[in-house]
Amino acid sequence: MSESLMRLLAELPTAELEPERAERIRKSCRARIVRPAPHAFSSRVTCAQVWQALVAALGAAYLIGAIIEAVRVYRLS
Amino acid sequence: MSRGRSSRVITAVERETELALVARLRQGDADAFDDVFAAFNTRLFTFLVRLSRRRDVAEDLVEETWLRLVKHARRLRPDTRLGPWLFTVARHLHVSFNRSRVLEDSAAVSLIAVWPFSFEQASPFEAAAASELERRIERALAALPSTSREVLLLVGVAGLTHSDAADVCGITPEALRQRLHRAREALATALERDAATEPPALGGIASCPSR
C-alpha cells in the first residue's frame, strides 16, 4: 500500500505560478541579487565590532586598574 | 495546474552543479539565480499550494521565499543544499503565516488550542483534479494535520530524500521516518474511509496492492 501510495503522490499534478507573476518575481530577485551587500548587514557587522572593541577596552582598563591598585597596596604594606 | 513530471526532471540538481550554483549566488550572479529559480520554483509553489490549500497564500509565500534567498545569497554557506534550504524557508513562512492568521483572528481564540486548524474549502488541486482518484487523494491530503501533510508533500510529492525532509522539518531522520509512516497510514485510512462513504465505483487506492 505505501509504495503505491507514494507513487500516486509523485504522479500528482504540479502547480504553476502565473507566467506574469513568475517573471515579475524573477526580475525583481535578479535586480536585488546583483546589488552589493546590503547596508543593514554591513552596519550590523560594524556595530558588533564596535561593541567588541568597547568591551575589550573596558576589560583592559579594569585589568590595568587592578594591577595598579595591587602594586599600590603592596608598596604601602 | 499542469500534468506530468517534466518539472520534476529538471529539478534533479546534481551536487556539483548545486555547489557551483551556490558559489555563483554568493558572488551575486543573477544568472545563477535564474537557474535556481527554474529548477525549484514549480516544486516550491506546488508544495506551498498543497500545504496552505490556498493559491493566493502560496503565491505570496513563494515570492517571499525567493526574496529570502536573494537577501541571504551572499551569506550562504559554500556547502548549502539549495533544495532543503528553500523548502525550509517556505515551510517556516507557512508556519508563521498560520500563526499570524490565528492571532489576528480575534474570533478564533479557541482554535489556538487545536492549531493547525482545518479548512472547509476545497484545495485548488481538489477543484482541478482530473480524475476521481486524484480528487480523493487531494481531499485526503488536505484533511490531514499539517505535520503529516508536510512530510508526505516533501517526500512523496517534492521528491526530497528522508534526510533532506528531516532537515526541512527540523527533526531527526528517524523521527521523519516515523512521522512519514504515520502519515501514510493516515492518508490510506482517509482514502479508504472516503471510498467507503462515496458509492461511485473507483477501487483506486483501496485496491492498491499491500506490501
Contact A12 B63 (CB under 8 A): no
Contact B196, A18 (CB under 8 A): no
**Averaged pLDDT, A58-76:** 91
Contact B123, B149 (CB under 8 A): no
How many CB atoms are closer than 10 A to CB B122? 15
| Chain B residues whose beta carbon lies within 8 Å of the beta carbon of residue A1 | 184, 188, 208-211
pLDDT 10s digits, B135-165: 888 889 888 998 999 999 999 999 899 999 9
**Averaged pLDDT, B82-98:** 94
Q: Which residue has the higher pLDDT, B194 or B162?
A: B162
pLDDT of B109 > 60? The answer is: no
Q: Which residues contact B67 (CB under 8 A, 6 or more apart)?
A: A28, A29, A32
Query: ipTM score here?
Result: 0.72
**Averaged pLDDT, A62-77:** 87
**Averaged pLDDT, A51-66:** 95
Q: How far apart are CA B57 and CA B68, in angstroms?
A: 16
Q: Which residue has the higher pLDDT, B125 or A15?
A: A15
**What nine digits make up the cell of B79?**
556547502
| Chain B residues whose beta carbon lies within 8 Å of the beta carbon of residue A16 | 1-2, 42, 45
Q: Which helix (H) or strand (E) holds B49?
A: helix B30-52
**What nine digits make up the cell of B133?**
482518484
Contact B64, B93 (CB under 8 A): yes
Pick from A1, A10, A26: CB nearest B157 = A10
Find, among B95, B34, B96, B41, the residue nearest to B63 by Cα. Answer: B41
pLDDT 10s digits, B35-57: 999 999 999 999 999 999 899 99
**Averaged pLDDT, B1-26:** 68
pLDDT 10s digits, A38-52: 555 555 667 888 999
**What nine digits make up the cell of A7?**
507513487
**What nine digits make up the cell of B112?**
489556538
pLDDT of A2 > 90? The answer is: no
Measured between alpha carbons, how far is residue B103 from residues B100, B112, B121, B181 in Å? 5, 8, 20, 32
Pick from A15, A35, A36: CB nearest B1 = A15
3-state secondary structure of B202: coil
Find, among B178, B150, B173, the residue nearest to B87 by Cα. Answer: B150
DSSP state of A13: P
Find, among B108, B117, B15, B37, the residue nearest to A28 by Cα. Answer: B37
Look at residue B121 in the predicted model and tell me its pLDDT. 53
Q: Is the pTM of this model over 0.80?
A: no
Find, among B185, B181, B183, B187, the residue nearest to B137 by Cα. Answer: B187
Contact B211 A2 (CB under 8 A): yes
The distance in angstroms from the start CA to the end CA of chain A is 88
Phi and psi at residue B2, to the nearest 5°:
-120, 155
Q: State the average pLDDT for chain A.
A: 85
Residue type (1 letter), A36: P
Contact B69 A41 (CB under 8 A): no
CA distance B112 to chain A (A): 30
B192 touching chain A per CB within 8 A:
no
| Chain B residues whose beta carbon lies within 8 Å of the beta carbon of residue A21 | 59, 63
Look at residue A48 in the predicted model and tell me its pLDDT. 84
